[in-house]
Amino acid sequence: MDRAGAKLPEFTLTDRTAGAVAEVCRRLDGIPLAIELAAARVNALGVDGVLPGLEQVLATLAGR
């Protein structure tokens, strides 16, 4: 929340964003650096836009 808020001051955790935030953290296995890097993209992509990007990156890393 701190990192996302630093990049996008109007970002707040709401009922609408909580699910996406939780899913980002889950997909990144709770790894703090990975979560911070994803949070830094919130200003460009929005929290809903981070998830599709993660799917592409993780698939690429897995060789799919």
Average of per-residue pLDDT across 2-10: 82
**Which DSSP helix (H) or strand (E) runs through 55?**
helix 42-61
Q: How many domains does the chain have?
A: 1
The rounded Cα 46 to chain-centroid distance in angstroms is 8
Residue 64 above 80 pLDDT? no
The residue range of the domain holding 55 is 2-61
Q: What is the pTM of this model?
A: 0.74
Residues 30-60 pLDDT 10s: 989 888 888 888 888 888 888 887 877 666 5
Q: What is the rounded CA–CA span in Å between residue 49 and residue 53?
A: 7
